[in-house]
Chains A and B, each alone.
Chain A
Amino acid sequence: MKLPTTWKMMGGYLWKHRLWVLLGLMALLAVDAVQLLIPRVIRSAIDDIAVRLTTAHLWIYFLEILGIATSIVLFRFSWRFYLFGTSRKIEEEMRNLLYWHFLNLPVKFYDVHKVGDLMAHSTNDIAAVREMAGVSLIALVDAVIWSAATILMMFLIHVRLTLILLIPLPALGILSFFLGRLIYKRFRKVQDIFSLLTSKAEEIVSGIRVIKAYVQEEGEYQEFRKIHEQYRTCQMDLIKISGAFGPAIAMISGLSTTLLLIFGGRMTLLNQVSLGDFVALNTYLGFLIWPMMATGWVVNLYQRGMASLTRIQDLLSVSQEPHIFSSEPRADSLHLPTQIHQGTLDIHHLTFYYDGRDTPVLNDITLSVKPGEPLGIVGRTGAGKSTLVALLTRLFTPPEQTIFIDRTDILRYPLYALRSGIACVPQETFLFSDSVKENIAFGNPSTHFSEIVRVSQLAEIHEEILSFPQGYSTIVGERGLTLSGGQRQRIALARALLMHPKILILDDALSAVDSETESRILKNLQPVFQIATTVVITHRISVLKDFPHIAVLEKGRVVEYGDHTTLLRMGGIYARMFEFQAMEEKLFRQTLQIEKRESGVKSPP
């Protein structure tokens, strides 16, 4: 028989922590064992008191109970510690595994999956698995052993009577099976409507503008209410069954007690069992309630946990990017590049489609860039500039034999070799909630502080960092200091410079920086441009004036190519952009003048 993969995975984790699991289970068994002794002590005591009329041994019984209680404290503590601890360990390991998996999934994956959903996997689903591994496992083992041992103890007292007392138990099994199924079904319905409710809430919150503009508040309110009424009805349907479950178990176990009163009582009357036996059996019957309760609960936890584990496994089975240290498996993998040496970049008839699209984002691109001769790329939004960057860094996989670095297809580079040689300042600067220093040293954590200062100076951000509350140690990002777009971009630039790249790509990287600072930065970067292959993608034509090569990208094609003067002479897109931006610049200066004048008028004479 083939075990489901979920079981294998769970089993693997439990096996890994077998020592703790074993210790825990042993302690659990020990608790069960000693606890089962208590009714026996009580039985002896009752027989002493009621029949033998002696108190001579009572102190021994007392000490026995005290001893049992003490060992229960020890054992119970141990099993809780070991077994719950194991489930926490499994949780920790699973979380680490999932995180590592997330880091190694291709970027493409994140275009399809929302961060929120992935977060839900790693919190709710792991929690459900942990509960399954901890609580439900314990409950299951405990319930089985405990009830078996209890029944055994009862048999030791009186076989025939015990058999009679156990008559209602099968009823309980059947009941809990059917009720359990019914509860599960109704619970699913509640959950379905709850997710309906969630999507309605999501719809209202994300569509609030439309709702307000069309004055739909009342209508949406009523619709939400309608779904909620339904939800409420389903909850009521559920409670009618699930609310009866506990009381039903109490009643059935009470039936056993009734049988004890009738048959056990009769046997006691007839002296066939002692009063102590009668009392002990009564106590044991009480012991049986817990495992009965537990079964329904375990089934529920198990089902939830398994569903979550399946979701996690689905996620884990999404194939990862090739590991950053490994190379593509190829026949000619003998001479694999281990690093980028010069950094010459050649793009050769590159055409690229996104999955499922029939128009290419990049169409037959051929370009080459050498160190010291930076290439400028301009183009309107949607021209394919950022896709090109993603392909160069293999965030997306380009077709074979289309992009070469040092004359070698970039697909042949191990990711580590490739990415450590390329530094990229992406359009969307993403900083982490960490100190400025950590953010700059992001790709190079062990770097010397003076080096961080040096690249910050190059990026014209050093002075501003010093003015932050804690200088380089200031925490930035969501839970820290809010930076302006320009500051963020310059930090991102410093971060890239610290990589000492062979290839430097600036993807509209200084769009939020004012043009004066930008030109200063570009001047600072001249030495870098001399040694590294540089690609500068920008909206601002003024930046590119002195570049030897400029490519204009339009709808995935290189439509114009040359230096600034050639391109202007062409009178195409480049020229129009240039004129427009000159106009904008003029307007901006006018605006400044108007503002100056206005403030002059307003100010008191």
Chain B
Amino acid sequence: MTYPPDEFESLEIRYDLRLFLRLFAFLRPYLLPFLLVLLLSLFSAGLELALPYITKEAIDQKILKHADVISYPGEEEARQKLRAIPEAIFLPPRSILIPTGSHRASADARNSVSSYYLYKRDLPPEEWEALISKVKSVPTAFFTQDILVIPYADLKNLSSSDVWFLRKNDYRGLLFLSMLFLLFLIGNFFVNVYLAVILQWIGQGVIQNIRLTLLNHLMNLSISFFTRNPVGRLVTRLTNDAEALSEFFTLVLVTFFKDIFFVAGILFVLLHFNWRLSLWILILAPFLLVIALIFRAKAWSANRVIRRKIAEINAYLSESLSGIRVIKLFLREKVNQTRFQRLNREAYQANMRQILLFSSFHPFINFLSYLAVGLVMYFGGHQVIRGELTVGSLVAFFAYTQMFFAPIADLAEKYNVLQSAMAAAEKIFSLLDVKEFIPESPAGKIPEHLQGEVVFQNVSHTYDGIMDVLRDVSFRVKPGQTVALVGPTGAGKTTITNLLLRFYDPVRGRILIDGVDIRDIPQKSLRSFMAIVTQDVFLFSTDILQNIRLNRKSITVEQARSAAEAVGASHFIHSLPRQYDEPVQERGATLSVGQKQLLVFARAFAFNPKILILDEATSSVDPDTEKHIQEALKLLLKGRTSFVIAHRLSTIKNADKILVLHKGRIVEEGTHSSLLEKQGFYYNLYRLQFPEERNPL
């Protein structure tokens, strides 16, 4: 029986690929620096690989300046071998000497091999004589016109000053190699620092780009999107998720390339040194691959379970905290604790499964790497003896083997980072894919000399498609008039202002400003004719001045100050230590309700809108501030079309027109006195809301 391919698995890979492609699109402006990064990683990999090679050279060429002497039964055999090996030297009576690194004659001679120190003559005759006289005491030493060999074991028999004399030149060579080593080391340091800096530069640039793109996108989404999504969630997308993504560009991407260069470089060097010995390492590669693949699959699912459990815990916790009163009233503490403990235990078990997995992965890779060392030692050792490999190369092999396995052992950590970066990317891109905009009309009409006449024609609206919040509302406001919107909660007052600002488009009917359908006016132009003052005053965390003029550069400092003066906000501003430069802390927590009100009045005044929308605050302020506010209001409303969701009696009384709303309909319309005379809904509402006014008529 055959199964169809696992569609989830394949889907996942395609999805990953799509994510990668979208991420790389952000990398495009940094293509050149990124190529530089690749070049530098290549360079760094090269330098790091060179270090063990220098050690190898030091061992082979300087420390173990080596020659092998093979003795044969007779002179004839020796001479025969000598012809076959060009670099060999005949050592009377029946031996030949082969410098290290050349292939040895044959396996049959193996047992008669011994290791000799080789010295080739590079000295003036008198020093050479002196040298010869020093080693004469060693009976096993051979010397000819220009070479000197002495068994390694017999070097001991020389005095240390003699040995030093003998090996001075070797030491000089060793010093040179050491300096080269140091040079490479320092070079590698600078390459790596530069690499980290430039990578961070790219990563931060990309993240900034992503964040700004996201912010721009977010600010253009319609208000309905913001009412559906909690502030915290959107902020997390902009901050933490984008941060997790930056790890993709700095950590994952670069280690990925560096590791590839590194592994490729090691393979090249090893194969170049000795392909037969390298095969013993390569033989382990399939095991490595299988383990890594199994690990990847298991890690993916373990991680998913953990994420789900953590999400469950967080959901339960957040629900418990939000519903804490109910929990207390119904004495649910114990039951909830038990349930939380169960969820917590499940998360622990999921984590333990992951620990089990990770704890086995690491040691297995470790095991393989030590197995490789063992294999290299065993087979390499034999090769050394056979003369197919130098000792230095064997030592270098050890180093390279360790280096080869290191990136793979780190795989688990990298995979974790990659996964959370991908999860973040997915969230960010799905936010970027939201296309919930208030449509911009191609007509693009911008009224030049706006008068401020507002007409609602049979406007109906619903937020959820089920309940109508406005039903067939029609009215007309002449330029400069003040309209008071009154009615109980949920009557549709705020909806009228929302529609006027085009936070939403009405489901039916249309809204005209100076005879132009507001859907034909670009949103930003439309709103630039208007200003709103909301009930819950929103202040920005900058200074007072900036809170008045915001970022509109056309409002001068003088204008902002005179606006504050006009609405009577300057009194309290002058009492602040730094006056207009006083920072507004924690969204104005240090200011009183009345002060905040006056401040946003100043803001609205400075913006000098044609149409003003005002949601009066219900919270009470002290009588003195109240007087200020009333005066400021009068000034603010003068000469502009105003919509006031009124809570103050004086505002209502002074309005040119009152629209009485109930369940989305205009039930009464007129001036304060005409409505009172009618003794209808408004009359009752009025009596209820202002019980202190004994006799309304």
CA distance A547 to B436 in the complex (A): 51
- Given A118-B321, A265-B58, A419-B328, A236-B197 contact (CB < 8 Å): yes
Query: Does B91 lie at the interface of the complex (its beta carbon under 8 Å from any beta carbon of A)?
Result: no
Residues on B with beta carbons closer than 8 Å to the beta carbon of A81: 355-356, 359
List residues of chain B with CB within 8 A of the CB of A68.
370
Give bound CA distance, A74 to B367, whole Å.
Answer: 10
Residue of B nearest to A76 (CB): B363
Asked if B541 and A217 sit within 8 Å, CB to CB, the answer is: no
Q: Evaluate contact between A77 and B337: CB separation under 8 angstroms.
A: no
Which B residues touch A583, using CB under 8 A?
680-681, 684
Decide if A347 is an interface residue (CB 8 Å cutoff): no
| A50-B384, A115-B321, A218-B551 known; A207+B55 contact, CB < 8 A | no
A58-B381, A247-B193, A261-B181 in contact; A587/B662 too (CB < 8 A)? yes
Instruction: Tell me what chain B mostly uses at the interface: helix, strand, loop, or mixed.
Output: helix
If over half of A's interface residues share one DSSP class (helix, strand or loop), that class is named, otherwise mixed; here it is: helix
Residue interface bits A221-251, CB-to-B below 8 A is 1, else 0: 1111100110110011001101110111011
**A445, B333: Cβ atoms closer than 8 Å:** no
A303 beta carbon closer than 8 Å to chain B: no
The answer to whether the Cβ of B27 comes within 8 Å of any Cβ in the partner chain is no
Q: Are B534 and A46 in contact (CB-based, < 8 A)?
A: no
Question: Are A208 and B193 interface neighbours, CB within 8 A?
Answer: no
Across the interface, do B366 and A72 meet the contact criterion of CB distance under 8 Å? yes
Interface residue ranges of B38-61 to A (CB < 8 Å): 51, 55, 58-59
CA distance A93 to B83 in the complex (A): 80
Nearest-Cβ distance from residue A288 to partner chain B, whole angstroms: 14
* Chain B hits for A219, CB < 8 A: 550-552
**Which of B200-246 touch A at CB < 8 Å?**
200-201, 204-205, 208, 211-212, 215-216, 218-220, 223, 226, 231-232, 234-235, 238-239, 243
User: With a CB–CB cut-off of 8 A, which chain A residues contact B552?
Assistant: 214, 216, 219
Q: Which of B120-128, B344-352, B442-450, B505-513 contacts A (4 or more CB under 8 A)?
A: B344-352
**CB <8 Å contact, B331 and A443:** yes
Q: Please, how many residues of chain B have a CB less than 8 angstroms from a CB on the other chain?
A: 147
| 1/0 contact string of B51-82 vs chain A (CB within 8 Å) | 10001001100111010000000000000000
* Residue of B with least CB distance to A282: B55
Q: Does A384 contact B (CB under 8 A)?
A: no
B430 contacts partner chain A, Cβ-Cβ < 8 Å: no
Determine how close the nearest CB of chain B comes to the CB of A539; give it in whole angstroms.
10
Q: Is the CB of A119 within 8 A of B321?
A: yes
In angstroms, how far is the closest chain B Cβ from the Cβ of A399?
20
- Across-interface contacts of A65 in B (CB, < 8 A): 370-371, 373-374, 377
In the complex, what distance in Å separates the CA atom of A123 from the CA atom of B391?
55
User: Are B364 and A73 within 8 A (Cβ)?
Assistant: yes
Distance, CA A231 to CA B317, complexed state (A):
33
From residue A596, how far is it (CB to closest CB) to chain B in Å? 13
B499 interface hit (Cβ, 8 Å): no
Question: How far is A255 from B189 in the complex, measured between Cα atoms in Å?
Answer: 12
A95 interfacial contact with B, CB 8 Å:
yes
The 8 Å CB contact of B115, one of A53, A74, A265, is: A53
Contact of B188 among A212, A250, A270 (CB under 8 A): A250
Contact indicator B239/A66 (Cβ below 8 Å): no
- Does the CB pair A275–B64 fall under 8 Å? yes
Would you list 30 pairs from A and B whose C-beta atoms are within 8 A, ordered by A residue?
A58-B377, A80-B355, A81-B356, A85-B352, A88-B351, A88-B355, A102-B320, A103-B327, A107-B325, A119-B321, A204-B215, A209-B223, A213-B531, A214-B607, A232-B205, A236-B204, A243-B193, A243-B196, A247-B193, A257-B51, A257-B181, A268-B63, A272-B160, A275-B63, A275-B64, A286-B399, A442-B332, A478-B315, A499-B330, A580-B687
Would you list the 5 A-B pairs with minimal beta carbon distance, nearest first?
A: A219-B551, A243-B196, A443-B330, A69-B370, A80-B359
Q: A53-B385, A119-B314, A583-B684 are in contact. List 16 more A-B contacts (CB 8 A).
A: A42-B398, A65-B377, A73-B367, A95-B344, A103-B327, A123-B314, A202-B231, A211-B219, A247-B192, A251-B185, A251-B189, A261-B58, A269-B167, A271-B155, A433-B315, A499-B330
